[in-house]
Structure formats: structure tokens, C-alpha cells
């Protein structure tokens, strides 16, 4: 499949302490791609740079083969965008905002707009100032989806939505996916990412930490293993084992605590050779796996954001 | 400063409070110091034609001169502007920004919150009153003393800010009934103009009952700067009492209404059904305002611009009505008053048309330029508040959005020229005044290039600079520009300095026709600024808001 989004060494600096640094990734046509990271990691900056709202300092980004800055008007014909925060004239009604943005985009099917409004339970007769956060988010989703774009860029799309509307949103994403269109979304909700995305990228302090299939990320999760022996045990026995990332003495001299990433076969074999009496493993949740990526680096990079 | 809502609000008011206060101080110090016997005597000859402006009590004294010239009508209008804006945004502004929810999430009662904010506004006005008094005292010292003492100066300042406070409270009350602060500020400004007009009408019609409807009338029953004036201290209770009534009404409404909605809207919207809600989509499909950025801008600016245009029509019509009775006297006064003759050195005053042209086209160009400034300033404001994020996510190029906004602003400014021309043409027919149509057309449409320069300046520096900086730069330039032109007959500026003033370059087309060099030159500068704005806007980051 061709890549619809491509970034290469994309860097956006706001000065000393915010931005993104050398972000490189591809998103294939038809993919649902999740973008994860703690607050201020650079998710919104990346998305706004792709939308041509910010100008990258270095590197490049393309959507559909078009440069996101130089050809941003053409790029936006392909994209439906939900900003993380947005504001419009507070005196305008929801219907007026939808109609206005529809005219600016062109190619909007009014019947589809009505179906989106119905599905999300949005009241378009209210003024923008009267909308709750959740209703503003619904309005944002309607305007992002209404022209049935080839690519959706959604910055924390379920923020503020109630569980029913979250489920409706997942169905809408599934329909987009089934139709061969692409979704690039940022989120903090891991079950949501697990449920909706094919691949995810994790960004921290402006740098891309990892990018892989959701299933692969599950596979690389680390496990805590506690091994009990009949006699006093030595940490040296496991230091050369391929999948052991950490080994330490346990509660007493006959117990060892290991952190293992990968297969346990070699661990079991070594433990058997030294007369192990019990092996207990603790499977961390995907949540814990992600939290390890989220933890700030000891030596933070120059850019964060 | 963050210990209470009152202190925090006072902190928020520190810039306008000090700017207005020190502005008044400098202004009053200057004008009191300049109130020499010669200046006063020169001005006395004008009093008859300016009878609508004030009551010339003890006009031959410096304090009478200052009271007539500034205290009766001028400062009540000018000093009410900030309290009106502050009153309209007192709680509505917080609601629009979404910060009211956070404030009300604390254990503060709504009534207390409102009272503390109003208290801060009142304290800020008192500071302004004190600075005003200091200005008067400083000017008095420079003039030679013996005219106004500190207590009288303080009382004059207090009288002034009580009236301004009243208008602030009217704005606060209306902000409970409207859905936005702009609407509240607009309606209150309209009331201010109406009350001033009623007071003027009362003066002109010798005590007509209409003036009793105006709080400005009760304000003028006390003139503390004048030692012998029969003050009626109880009259001050009228604006103060009305302000308290407005405050009580605001507190009652604020305590009962939904946050984010008006007291009226809450009930109306609750009655809406699901079907009605969906019908709004069909209605929006038919609305012209949603078709493009320019149409949306025109409609969004519609009400505000309507009031501006109505003000221009009223101003032109008023002077058209007054001119026939004033012409001979005005001409005589100008001939006999050296400083006025210098001020109007390039302006004939010997016909009705001349008088009308002199007065109308001394002020309307400034009104049109201010209209252009207020319209253009919405661009940096929207950029800073993140209101263009969704617009720029559509396939509209940045230059196109900017050009559509600029074009819509320019169209309204052009409409102001058309309205001026039409009002004076129709009025002249009705009043049987002979007006040179070519010159009138020239004077009306020559207002467009200066307005274009003002708009171009705002757009050119937006994007790179914050809204406050843009406002400061544009306002400073226009104020200096106007002062420069106003003082031209009395102060000799170098030619190149004068050529920087758009009001000077506007010239005197009602008498001398269009100066094509200046007309085209300013148009070229306006367009050049537009090009600069387009070029620089291509590379700026869009603010997140």
C-alpha cells in the first residue's frame, strides 16, 4: 500500500523548550494509525504541522505526495481535521458553522451531514457559546467527517464524549477503515487505540520513541519473573540470558527477581539447571507497557513538546 | 493581588485604569494651564454656536471655560467608553472565555463575585477621579492659582466617574439580557449617545422635558469646578441611584440565569424540540452568510457596522439641520477669532455649504477611519483566539482568507462613504441647501484611502504581533495623525512629518476637490500594506488560541 502520510526528520522548534525533533514515520493508505504520548509530547504540534498551520523548521512532511506546507491548500482537499482545541464565532449556531465550513470545503452531501448529526446526537440549533465541551467535540467530528475525506486527522477525538458517543465514534472509524480510507488519531485511551488502530507511534518529549503494529507492541511487553531455588541463588546465572533486561536478588538469598522481554524458554532452562523450585510470572498490562515508554528520560533532550 | 476576586479584578484593570487616569491627568493639566485670559476670551465668541454643547456659566473664567469645553459633554462621553466596555465584559467576558465556570467552581456565591468585580471597577474609577483632580491641580498651579482648589477638583472627578459608573452598570445589566458582551456594549453606547442627545436637545429647546430623561442632565446640575454655581448635590444621587438599580437587577438576573446564556435565551432555548433543532440545518443551508469567508465577515460585522453608519447619518443630519441658523454667526466668529481662523486657515466659512462641510468633514473622516480600525482589528483578535483554526483546515488558501476578510472590511468602509454622501445629498435637498455635488462626492469618497491605510496597517502587523501590540501601534498612529492635522494651523510641522498624517493627506476635498496625488498615493500605500500582510502571513504559524 502507498503511504498517504510521510514525514522525514520533521522538526518544529518554538524556541528553547517546545516542539518536535526529527520525527520520521509513514502512514499507509487505509490504515488507522494511533499517535500516543503524554501531554506536551508533540502530538498536536505534529498534526498542526501536517495541516500546514505550523511551518516546520527542518525535514519535510507530505500528504498524498503533496508537501504539507507548500501545497497545503491541495492537501486540505484530502483531509478532514479535528483540532484538539478549536473556537469559532460564539454567536454562530452549530448549523451555521457546519454549513459555512461545508461551503468552504465543497463537495458535502447534506444527507450525510444529517446522518452524522443524528448519529452523534448533536443539536445544531444552539449557538456555539452554549455548547458543552462534549457538544463542541461532536460539532468538530461532524465537520471533520462531513465531506468524506480520504484522510482524517483527529486530535484526541473522543475527548469529552460520553461512552455512547465514544462507541458511535468507533463505529464511524470502523466504517472509514472498511471503506479503505485512512485515519490518523491521537489519544490517551489505550483500549481505544487497541480497539481502533492497526499501528501506533509513541512520542515523548518531541521525539518518536517507537512505531509498530499494536500486536507487536503487545509482544514486546516486559514481564516480571520471580524464581525460587532450593539453595542460595546468584544473579550471575541469568546475566548472559538473551531476553533478560534486569536481574536482582529477591526477598531472600534463595529468590531472584528478573525482568524479561520476550521468550521464557532459556530462563526456564537455566532455572532448571540450578534446581529451581518455583517460577512465578507477572504479566504487565498494556497500560503498564505504555507507561514505561511514557516515563521521562533521565537526560532529557533539547526539544520537548 | 490574587487574594480575592476584587484584588484580582483590580489587577486586571490596572492598565486601562492607569492609561485613562494618567491620560486625563496630562490632558487636564495641559488644558487648565492653557486656559489663559486670552485663550478664554478667544473662545467666548464660539459659545453661542456651541450652545448645544454646554451651558456657558462663568465662561469668562478659566474654570468656566474648562467646564463648558470639556466637563459638560466631552468627558462624560469619552470617560464612559471604558466603563461600558468593562461593564459589558464584567461577567459576560468571563463566560465567553469559559473562565466563569472555574470561578464559580470555588466557594464564591454569584452575588458576591459580581459585587467584588463591580467594587473593583468602582475603585478603578475612583483612582481615575483622583488622577483627574491631580491634573486639574497641576494645571491650576501652572496657570497661576486662585481658581480651583483640590477639594473642588476631587468633587468634579467624582461627579464625572459617577456618571461613567452608571453607564458601566447599564452595560452590566444589558450583558445579562444579551448573549454577548459586544451586543451589550453596543446597546449601551447607543444609550449613551441617546442620553447626550436628549440633554443637548433640552438645552437647545430651553428646558424641554426630554432632558429630564437623561442622566447627563442630572450630572450637569453639579459643576464642582465652578465656585459660585448653585450645585444640587442630591442630583448626583440620580446617576448613582440608577447605577445601583442596574446593579441590583444584574445581581438578581446573574444569580438566577444559566451561565453562558442570557436571562431571556435560557427559557426560549429550553422550549426547542429535536425536530426544530434539525430544521436549523435546512435554514442554515439557505443562509447567504455561510457561502464564503467574505459573506460571513460581512454578516458578522453587520450589527456593529449598522450602528456606526447610523451614527454617521445622525451626525450629518444633525448638522444639516443646524447649519442654516448658524452660518452667518459662524463666519463672523471665525473672522474675529485668530486661533479659529488659523485652525480653519484653508477652509471657507462664508456659505451654508461651507459651514456644513467644515464641521461634517472635520469629524466624519475620523469616524470612518475608526470604523475601519475596529473592523480590521477583528483579524488579529480572531488569529489570537484560535478562531481561524477550522477555517484554515479547509482548502482555502491563506491569501484568499485574508483577502476576503480585508475585502469585506473595505466594503463596509466604502458603504460609510456612500452613506455620508447620500445623507448630505438628500438632506441638502430637504433643507434647500445648494451643495456642489462633485465636491461632496470627492469629500465622501476621499475618506476611503485613509481608512484603507488604517486597515492595511493592522493587517500588515498582525500574525507576527499580539493583538494588544497591533491595537497600540494602530491607535497611536491614528491619534498622532489626527492631532498633527488638527494642530497644523497653530504648530508648524516639517512637510515630511505632515505627509505621514492620513488626515492631512485627506486634505479639504469639500472645498478644493480631490487631490489625486494624495488620493492615489494613500490608496497605493494601503494596497502596499495589504501586499506586505499577504507576504508575511504566508509564513506565520497559526496561533492555537
DSSP string, B120-134: HHHHHHHHHHHHHHH
A302: confidence class by pLDDT, cuts 50, 70, 90: very low
Do B45 and B336 touch, CB atoms closer than 8 A?
Answer: yes
Is the CB of B277 less than 8 angstroms away from the CB of A124? yes
Cα A186 from Cα A153, distance rounded (Å): 8
Local confidence pLDDT in tens for the 545 residues of chain B: 667 889 989 998 988 899 889 988 988 888 888 888 888 887 787 777 777 788 888 888 888 999 998 899 888 988 998 999 999 999 998 887 778 877 888 778 899 999 999 999 999 999 999 999 999 999 988 888 777 889 999 999 999 999 999 999 999 999 999 878 888 988 898 899 889 888 888 877 766 788 889 999 999 999 999 888 888 989 989 999 999 999 999 999 998 888 877 777 655 555 456 677 778 888 898 899 999 999 999 999 988 888 889 889 988 888 877 777 777 677 777 766 666 666 665 666 666 777 777 778 888 999 999 999 999 999 998 998 889 999 999 999 999 999 999 999 999 999 999 999 999 999 888 877 777 888 889 999 999 999 999 999 999 999 788 888 898 889 889 888 887 787 776 667 788 888 899 999 998 888 888 899 999 999 999 999 999 999 999 888 887 65
Is the CB of A89 less than 8 angstroms away from the CB of B387? yes
Residue A119 at interface with chain B, using a CB cutoff of 8 Å? no
Q: What nine digits make up the cell of A20?
A: 518536535
Q: Using a CB-CB distance cutoff of 8 angstroms, which residues of chain B are in contact with residue A83?
A: 389-390, 393
Whether residue A85 is predicted with pLDDT greater than 60 in this model: the reply is yes
Structural domains in chain A, CATH included, are 3-218 (3.40.50.300), 222-283 (3.30.70.100)
Whether residue A1 is predicted with pLDDT greater than 70 in this model: the reply is no
End-to-end CA distance of chain B: 26
Query: Of the candidates B256, B265, B259, which has an alpha carbon nearest to the alpha carbon of residue B99?
Result: B259
Looking from the CA of B34 toward its CB, the CA atoms found within 13 Å total 11
- Which residues, at least 6 apart from B417, have a Cβ–Cβ distance to it below 8 Å? B368, B444, B445, B447, B448
For residue B427, what pLDDT is reported? 87
Residue A141 at interface with chain B, using a CB cutoff of 8 Å? no
**Could you give phi then psi for residue A77, rounded to 5 degrees?**
-70, -20
- Which residues, at least 6 apart from A252, have a Cβ–Cβ distance to it below 8 Å? none
Distance from the A226 Cα atom to the nearest Cα atom in chain B, whole angstroms: 49
Cα A272 from Cα B261, distance rounded (Å): 73
A130: confidence class by pLDDT, cuts 50, 70, 90: confident
Burial B370-389 (b: 16+ CB within 10 A, else e): bbbbbbbbbbbebbbbbbbb
Cα B263 from Cα A4, distance rounded (Å): 50
For residue B341, what pLDDT is reported? 66
Cα A268 from Cα A272, distance rounded (Å): 6
Cα A122 from Cα A138, distance rounded (Å): 6
Q: Which residues of B touch A (CB under 8 A)?
A: 95-96, 179-180, 260-261, 265, 269, 272, 274, 276-281, 283-285, 287, 289-293, 296, 300, 385-387, 389-397, 539, 541-542, 544-545
Nearest residue on chain B to A69, alpha-carbon basis:
B539
For residue B273, what pLDDT is reported? 63
Beta strands (DSSP E) in chain A are 3-13, 19-28, 32-36, 58-63, 66-67, 79-82, 151-155, 182-187, 199-204, 207-213, 223-229, 244-249, 255-260, 276-282
Query: Of the candidates B347, B346, B343, B372, which has an alpha carbon nearest to the alpha carbon of residue B357?
Result: B347
Q: Which residue has the cell 452613506?
A: B419
Question: Strands A207-213 and A199-204, how do they pair?
Answer: antiparallel
Q: Give me the residues paired with residue A203 across strands.
A: A208
Do B334 and B340 touch, CB atoms closer than 8 A?
Answer: yes
Do A146 and A71 touch, CB atoms closer than 8 A?
Answer: no
Range from A83-87, A168-172, B108-112, B318-322 that averages highest in pLDDT: A168-172
Cα B98 from Cα B6, distance rounded (Å): 19
> Model ipTM?
0.76
Average confidence score pLDDT of chain A: 87
Cα B215 from Cα B213, distance rounded (Å): 7
For residue A216, what pLDDT is reported? 73
Looking from the CA of B498 toward its CB, the CA atoms found within 13 Å total 15
Nearest residue on chain B to A89, alpha-carbon basis:
B387
Do A200 and A35 touch, CB atoms closer than 8 A?
Answer: yes
Cα B238 from Cα B218, distance rounded (Å): 7
For residue A299, what pLDDT is reported? 40
Cα A190 from Cα A94, distance rounded (Å): 31
Whether residue A305 is predicted with pLDDT greater than 50 in this model: the reply is no
Q: Which residue has the cell 488502530?
A: A197
Q: Using a CB-CB distance cutoff of 8 angstroms, which residues of chain A are in contact with residue B539?
A: 55
pLDDT (tens digit per residue) in A139-166: 999 999 999 999 999 999 999 999 999 9
Cα A122 from Cα A119, distance rounded (Å): 8
- Which residues, at least 6 apart from B80, have a Cβ–Cβ distance to it below 8 Å? B163, B164, B167, B168, B192
Distance from the A179 Cα atom to the nearest Cα atom in chain B, whole angstroms: 22
Classify residue B261 by its DSSP letter: S
DSSP B44-70: HTTTTTTTTT---TTTTSHHHHHIIII
Helices marked H in A106-153 — which ranges?
A: 110-120, 133-145
Classify residue B465 by its DSSP letter: B
Question: Above pLDDT 70, what percent of chain A?
Answer: 89
Average pLDDT score over residue span A220-245: 86
Q: Give me the residues paired with residue A225 across strands.
A: A258, A281
Q: What is the pTM of this model?
A: 0.74
Cα A123 from Cα B278, distance rounded (Å): 7
pLDDT (tens digit per residue) in A18-29: 689 999 999 999
Cα B323 from Cα B320, distance rounded (Å): 5
Is the CB of A48 less than 8 angstroms away from the CB of B544? yes
Distances from the Cα of B442 to the Cαs of A280, B331, B445, B455, in angstroms? Answer: 94, 23, 5, 21
Residue A85 at interface with chain B, using a CB cutoff of 8 Å? yes
Q: Using a CB-CB distance cutoff of 8 angstroms, which residues of chain B are in contact with residue A48?
A: 542, 544
Question: Strands A32-36 and A199-204, how do they pair?
Answer: parallel
Is the CB of A129 less than 8 angstroms away from the CB of B95? yes
Our measurement of the distance from residue B318's CA atom to the centroid of its chain's CA atoms, rounded to an integer in Å, reads: 18
Do A43 and A186 touch, CB atoms closer than 8 A?
Answer: yes
Rg of the Cα trace of chain A?
24
- Which residues, at least 6 apart from A169, have a Cβ–Cβ distance to it below 8 Å? A120, A141, A157, A158, A161
- Greater model confidence, B256 or A181: A181
Indicate the burial class of B160 (C-beta count within 10 angstroms; 0-12, 13-18, 19 or more): buried
Cα B166 from Cα B247, distance rounded (Å): 9
Q: Using a CB-CB distance cutoff of 8 angstroms, which residues of chain B are in contact with residue A124?
A: 277-278, 280-281, 284
Amino acid at each position: 500500500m502507498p503511504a498517504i502520510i510521510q514525514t522525514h526528520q520533521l522538526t518544529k522548534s518554538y524556541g528553547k523548550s517546545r516542539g518536535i525533533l526529527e520525527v520520521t514515520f509513514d502512514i499507509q493508505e487505509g490504515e488507522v494509525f494511533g499517535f500516543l504520548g503524554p501531554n506536551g509530547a508533540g502530538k498536536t504540534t505534529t498534526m498542526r504541522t501536517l495541516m500546514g498551520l505550523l511551518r516546520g523548521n527542518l525535514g519535510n512532511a507530505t500528504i498524498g505526495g503533496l508537501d504539507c506546507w507548500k501545497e497545503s491548500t491541495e492537501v486540505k482537499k484530502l483531509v478532514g481535521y479535528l483540532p484538539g482545541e478549536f473556537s469559532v464565532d460564539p454567536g454562530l449556531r452549530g448549523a451555521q458553522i457546519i454549513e459555512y465550513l461545508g461551503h468552504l470545503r465543497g463537495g458535502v452531501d447534506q444527507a450525510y451531514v444529517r446522518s452524522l448529526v443524528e448519529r452523534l446526537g448533536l443539536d445544531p440549533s444552539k449557538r456555539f457559546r452554549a455548547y458543552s465541551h462534549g457538544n463542541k467535540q461532536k460539532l468538530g467530528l461532524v465537520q471533520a467527517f462531513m465531506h468524506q475525506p480520504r484522510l482524517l486527522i483527529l486530535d484526541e477525538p473522543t475527548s469529552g464524549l460520553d461512552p455512547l458517543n465514544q462507541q458511535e465514534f468507533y463505529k464511524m472509524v470502523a466504517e472509514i477503515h472498511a471503506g479503505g480510507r485512512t485515519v490518523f488519531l491521537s489519544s490517551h485511551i489505550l483500549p481505544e487505540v487497541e480497539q481502533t488502530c492497526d499501528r501506533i507511534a509513541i512520542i515523548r518529549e518531541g521525539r518518536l520513541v517507537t512505531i509498530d503494529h499494536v500486536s507487536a507492541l503487545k509482544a514486546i511487553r516486559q514481564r516480571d519473573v520471580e524464581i525460587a531455588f532450593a539453595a542460595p541463588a546468584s544473579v550471575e546465572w541469568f546475566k548472559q540470558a538473551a531476553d533478560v533486561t534486569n536481574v536482582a536478588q529477591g526477598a531472600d538469598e534463595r529468590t531472584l527477581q528478573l525482568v524479561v522481554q520476550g521468550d521464557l524458554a532459556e530462563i526456564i532452562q537455566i532455572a532448571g539447571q540450578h534446581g529451581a523450585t518455583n517460577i512465578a510470572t507477572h504479566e504487565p498490562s498494556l497500560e503498564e507497557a505504555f507507561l514505561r515508554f511514557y516515563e521521562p528520560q533521565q537526560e532529557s533532550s533539547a526539544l520537548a513538546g | 493581588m490574587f487574594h480575592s476576586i476584587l484584588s484580582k479584578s483590580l489587577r486586571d484593570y490596572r492598565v486601562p485604569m492607569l492609561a485613562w487616569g494618567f491620560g486625563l491627568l496630562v490632558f487636564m493639566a495641559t488644558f487648565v494651564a492653557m486656559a489663559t485670559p486670552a485663550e478664554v476670551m478667544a473662545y467666548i465668541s464660539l459659545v453661542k454656536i456651541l450652545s448645544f454643547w454646554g451651558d456657558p456659566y462663568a465662561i469668562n473664567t478659566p474654570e468656566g471655560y474648562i467646564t463648558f469645553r470639556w466637563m459638560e459633554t466631552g468627558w462624560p462621553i469619552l470617560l464612559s467608553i471604558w466603563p461600558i466596555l468593562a461593564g459589558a465584559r464584567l461577567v459576560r467576558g468571563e463566560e465567553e472565555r469559559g473562565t466563569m465556570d472555574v470561578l464559580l467552581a470555588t466557594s464564591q456565591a454569584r452575588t458576591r463575585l459580581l459585587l467584588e468585580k463591580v467594587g473593583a471597577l468602582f475603585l478603578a474609577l475612583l483612582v481615575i477621579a483622583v488622577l483627574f483632580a491631580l491634573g486639574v491641580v497641576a494645571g491650576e498651579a501652572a496657570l497661576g492659582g486662585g481658581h480651583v482648589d483640590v477639594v473642588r477638583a476631587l468633587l468634579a472627578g467624582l461627579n464625572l466617574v459617577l456618571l461613567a459608573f452608571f453607564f458601566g452598570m447599564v452595560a452590566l445589566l444589558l450583558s445579562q439580557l444579551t448573549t454577548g458582551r459586544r451586543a451589550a456594549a453596543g446597546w449601551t453606547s447607543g444609550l449613551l449617545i441617546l442620553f447626550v442627545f436628549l440633554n443637548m436637545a433640552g438645552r437647545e429647546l430651553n428646558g424641554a422635558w426630554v432632558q429630564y430623561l437623561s442622566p447627563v442632565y442630572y450630572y450637569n446640575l453639579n459643576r464642582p469646578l465652578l465656585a459660585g454655581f448653585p450645585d444640587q448635590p442630591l442630583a448626583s444621587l440620580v446617576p448613582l441611584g440608577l447605577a445601583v438599580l442596574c446593579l441590583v437587577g444584574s445581581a438578581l438576573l446573574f444569580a438566577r440565569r444559566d451561565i453562558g446564556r442570557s436571562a431571556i435565551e435560557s427559557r426560549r432555548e429550553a422550549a426547542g424540540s429535536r425536530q426544530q433543532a434539525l430544521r436549523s440545518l435546512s435554514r442554515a443551508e439557505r443562509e447567504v452568510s455561510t457561502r464564503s469567508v467574505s459573506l460571513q465577515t460581512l454578516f458578522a460585522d453587520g450589527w456593529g457596522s449598522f450602528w456606526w453608519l447610523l451614527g454617521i447619518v445622525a451626525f450629518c443630519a444633525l448638522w444639516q439641520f443646524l447649519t442654516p441658523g448658524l452660518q452667518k454667526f459662524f463666519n463672523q466668529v471665525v473672522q474675529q477669532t485668530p486661533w479659529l481662523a488659523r485652525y480653519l486657515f484653508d477652509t471657507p466659512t462664508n456659505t451654508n455649504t461651507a459651514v456644513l462641510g467644515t464641521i461634517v468633514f472635520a469629524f466624519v473622516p475620523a469616524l470612518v477611519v475608526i470604523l475601519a480600525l475596529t473592523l480590521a482589528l477583528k483579524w488579529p483578535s480572531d488569529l489570537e483566539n484560535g478562531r481561524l483554526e477550522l477555517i484554515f483546515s479547509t482548502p482555502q488558501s491563506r491569501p484568499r482568507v485574508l483577502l476576503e476578510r480585508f475585502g469585506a472590511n473595505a466594503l463596509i468602509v466604502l458603504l460609510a462613504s456612500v452613506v455620508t454622501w447620500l445623507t448630505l445629498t438628500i438632506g441638502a435637498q430637504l433643507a434647500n441647501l445648494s451643495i456642489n455635488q462633485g465636491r461632496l462626492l470627492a469629500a465622501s469618497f476621499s475618506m476611503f484611502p485613509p481608512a484603507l491605510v488604517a486597515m492595511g496597517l493592522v493587517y500588515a502587523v498582525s500574525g507576527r504581533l499580539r493583538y494588544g501590540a497591533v491595537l497600540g501601534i494602530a491607535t497611536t498612529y491614528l491619534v498622532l495623525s489626527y492631532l498633527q492635522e488638527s494642530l497644523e494651523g497653530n504648530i508648524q510641522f516639517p512637510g515630511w512629518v505632515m505627509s505621514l498624517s492620513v488626515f492631512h493627506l485627506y486634505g479639504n476635498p469639500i472645498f478644493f476637490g480631490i487631490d489625486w496625488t494624495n488620493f492615489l498615493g494613500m490608496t497605493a500605500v494601503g494596497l502596499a500594506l495589504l501586499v506586505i500582510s499577504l507576504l508575511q502571513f504566508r509564513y506565520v504559524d497559526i496561533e492555537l488560541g
